[in-house]
Amino acid sequence: MEYLKKTEFTGCHQGMRYRLEQTQDPENPEGGKKLMVTVWPEPFNYFNTPEEKKKRAYFSFDEDGVVDAVGWMNDRLFEDKKIWEEAPSHWDTYQM
């Protein structure tokens, strides 16, 4: 949690890239912090990937929220398996 208070955490697994970061609660901007998780297909980083290719979810900004976020990412990994498997074959089709 201390790491996420300072910066975002990014990574990739089997064609799915992900990013966890602290953000304001979108439903209560003046309230507490939330953990925002974003997943998207390879090959590009967060900033160079079109928004329509990203999926997001929000969780509580605590240890339980991290556990829930990992569960959500695992669900995306298996439910959207075809997207992640096909990601490398689309590298040259992205428009920059």
pLDDT tier, 73 (very low <50, low <70, confident <90, very high otherwise): very high
What's the confidence (pLDDT) of residue 84?
84
Higher-scoring residue by pLDDT: 19, 85? 19
Radius of gyration from C-alpha coordinates of the chain: 14
What's the confidence (pLDDT) of residue 26?
72
Average pLDDT over residues 32-42: 92
Cα 56 from chain centre:
6
In a domain? residue 20: yes
Phi, psi dihedral angles at 94 (to 5 degrees): -75, 140
In a domain? residue 95: no
Q: Which residue has the tokens 């979108």?
A: 26
Which residues pair with residue 10 across a beta bridge? 19
Domain that residue 53 falls in: 2-87
Say if residue 93's pLDDT is above 70: no
Give the total number of structural domains in the chain. 1
What's the confidence (pLDDT) of residue 5?
86
In a domain? residue 7: yes
Q: Which residue has the tokens 């079109």?
A: 50
